[in-house]
Amino acid sequence: MRSLRSPLSDIALVVARLVLGVVLIAHGAQKLGRGVGSVAEGFAGMGIPLPGVAAAFTMGVELLGGVLLIAGAFTPVVALFVVATMVGAGAFAHFGQGIFVDQGGWELVGVIGIGALALAAAGAGRFSIDHLIAGRRDGTTTDRAPVSAGSHRA
């Protein structure tokens, strides 16, 4: 199946994945530096259920998810994990604090969550591991015509 997407759309998706991935990795690394126990303690103070599990999950989504988004690998699934994480952060840590992040508001988790939701809907684009895998699965690549049954390459 051929994409009707323009090269500019694919470039925009790369930029979105890079920025979102870097922000997620930075936040995951910040939590990792504090340690899972400390993050779980903070989560418990916010009333987050199963704070140890939630801390480990959040750190994993931010660190591994950030790397996978940058690579464009498993993008729709990873992006939905990011959305779920941001919904949880918004509900438990930022709800009722207003909009602005400097006042504890939801703007950062909102933007991250919506960016991830857009990537879940749009996919990673042409410049991604997801695209390479899809091309191999359906017999196409980015620089060659589809391989048909019975065709032979030397």
Please give the Cα distance from 23 to 64 (Å, whole number): 12
Under 8 Å between Cβ of 132 and 123: no
Three-class DSSP category at 47: coil
State the average pLDDT for the chain.
90
pLDDT on residue 153: 39
- Sequence ranges of the domains in the chain: 7-137
Please report which confidence band the pLDDT of residue 4 belongs to, taking 50, 70 and 90 as the band edges: low
Query: How far is 154 from 98, CA to CA, in rounded Å?
Result: 64
pLDDT of residue 2 exceeding 60: no
